[in-house]
Amino acid sequence: MTDFSLALNEDQLTIQKWVHDFAETVVRPAANEWDEREEFPYPVVEEAAKIGLYSFDFFANAMLGDPSGLTLVLALEELFWGDAGIGLSIFGSGLAAAGISGQGTPEQTMEWVPQCFSYENGKLGLGAYCVSEPDAGSDVSSLRTRAVYDEAKDEWVLDGTKAWITNGGIADVHVVVATVDPTLKSRGQASFIVGPNTPGFSQGQKYKKHGIRASHTSEVVLDGVRVPGSHLLGGKEKLDAKLARAREAGKTGDRQPAMATFEATRPAVAAMAVGIARAAYEEALRYAQERHAFGKAIIQNQAIAFMLADMATEIDAARLLVHRAAWLSRNGVYKNAEGSMSKLKAGRTAVWVTERAIQIHGGYGYTREYPVERMHRDAKIFDIFEGTEQIQQLVISRAISGLRIE
Ligand SMILES: Cc1cc2nc3c(=O)[nH]c(=O)nc-3n(C[C@H](O)[C@H](O)[C@H](O)COP(=O)(O)OP(=O)(O)OC[C@H]3O[C@@H](n4cnc5c(N)ncnc54)[C@H](O)[C@@H]3O)c2cc1C
Identify the DSSP state of 26. Answer: I
359: buried, middle or exposed (CB in 10 Å: 19+, 13-18, 0-12)? middle
Pocket-testing residue among 144, 385, 397, ligand 1, by greatest number of atoms within 8 A of Cβ: 385
**φ, ψ dihedrals at 149, nearest 5°:** -85, 130
**Could you report the per-residue pLDDT of 161-219, keeping only the tens digit for each?**
999 999 999 999 999 999 999 999 999 999 999 999 999 999 999 999 999 999 999 99
Q: How far is CA 39 from the centre of its chain?
A: 18
Amino acid identity for residue 243 in this structure: L
Cα 186 from Cα 155, distance rounded (Å)? 22
Query: What is the residue-wise DSSP string for 28-65?
Result: HHHHHHHHHHTS--HHHHHHHHHTTSSSHHHHHIIIII
Task: Find, among 8, 19, 6, the residue nearest to 275 by Cα.
Answer: 19
Confidence check: pLDDT of 263 > 80: no
Ligand 1 atom closest to the Cα of residue 406 is: 41
Task: Find, among 96, 77, 101, the residue nearest to 27 by Cα.
Answer: 77
- Tell me what pLDDT residue 43 has: 97
For ligand 1, the distance from its centroid to the CA atom of residue 166, given in whole angstroms, is: 13
Identify the DSSP state of 385. Answer: S
Q: Is 132 in the pocket of ligand 1 (CB under 6 A)?
A: yes
Calculate mean pLDDT across residues 131-151: 96
Domains of the chain (ranges; CATH) run 10-91 (1.10.540.10), 127-249 (2.40.110.10), 257-401 (1.20.140.10)
CA distances from 3 to 6, 11, 64, 373 (A): 10, 20, 24, 42
For ligand 1, the distance from its centroid to the CA atom of residue 151, given in whole angstroms, is: 35
| 61-70, 124-133, 377-386: segment of lowest average pLDDT | 61-70
Residues 6 or more apart whose Cβ sits within 8 Å of residue 69: 267, 326, 327, 328, 329, 330, 331
For ligand 1, the distance from its centroid to the CA atom of residue 29, given in whole angstroms, is: 31
CB 179 within 8 A of CB 346: no
Q: Give the HSE-up count for residue 257: Cα atoms under 13 Å, Cβ half-sphere.
A: 31
- Tell me what pLDDT residue 254 has: 47
Q: Whose CA is nearest to atom 48 of ligand 1?
A: 388
Q: Is 48 in the pocket of ligand 1 (CB under 6 A)?
A: no
- Tell me what pLDDT residue 95 has: 85
Cα 232 from Cα 157, distance rounded (Å)? 11
Cα 178 from Cα 245, distance rounded (Å)? 19
Task: Indicate the pLDDT class of residue 142, thresholds 50, 70 and 90.
Answer: very high
**φ, ψ dihedrals at 153, nearest 5°:** -105, 0
- Tell me what pLDDT residue 255 has: 52
Calculate mean pLDDT across residues 74-95: 96
- Tell me what pLDDT residue 257 has: 55
CB 268 within 8 A of CB 343: no
For ligand 1, the distance from its centroid to the CA atom of residue 86, given in whole angstroms, is: 21
CB 276 within 8 A of CB 81: yes
**φ, ψ dihedrals at 120, nearest 5°:** -130, 135
Whole-number mean pLDDT of the chain?
94
- Tell me what pLDDT residue 75 has: 97
Cα 20 from Cα 18, distance rounded (Å)? 5
List the beta bridge partners of residue 159: 146
Cα 82 from Cα 80, distance rounded (Å)? 5
Q: Is 222 in the pocket of ligand 1 (CB under 6 A)?
A: no
Cα 65 from Cα 54, distance rounded (Å)? 16
Q: Is 164 in the pocket of ligand 1 (CB under 6 A)?
A: yes
Query: What is the residue-wise DSSP string for 93-106?
Result: HHHHHHHHHHHS-H
Confidence check: pLDDT of 394 > 80: yes
Q: Is 287 in the pocket of ligand 1 (CB under 6 A)?
A: no
Q: Is 388 in the pocket of ligand 1 (CB under 6 A)?
A: yes
Pocket-testing residue among 262, 384, 396, ligand 1, by greatest number of atoms within 8 A of Cβ: 384
- Tell me what pLDDT residue 406 has: 87
Cα 221 from Cα 205, distance rounded (Å)? 10
Q: Is 166 in the pocket of ligand 1 (CB under 6 A)?
A: yes
- Tell me what pLDDT residue 252 has: 46
For ligand 1, the distance from its centroid to the CA atom of residue 132, given in whole angstroms, is: 8
Active site residues: 386
Task: Find, among 283, 274, 380, the residue nearest to 319 by Cα.
Answer: 274
What is residue 14's three-state secondary structure? helix
**Could you report the per-residue pLDDT of 19-43, keeping only the tens digit for each?**
999 999 999 999 999 999 999 999 9
Q: Over the Cα atoms of the chain, what is R_g?
A: 22
- Tell me what pLDDT residue 102 has: 86
Q: Write the Ramachandran bin of 107: left for phi over 0, alpha for psi from -120 to 50, otherwise beta.
A: alpha
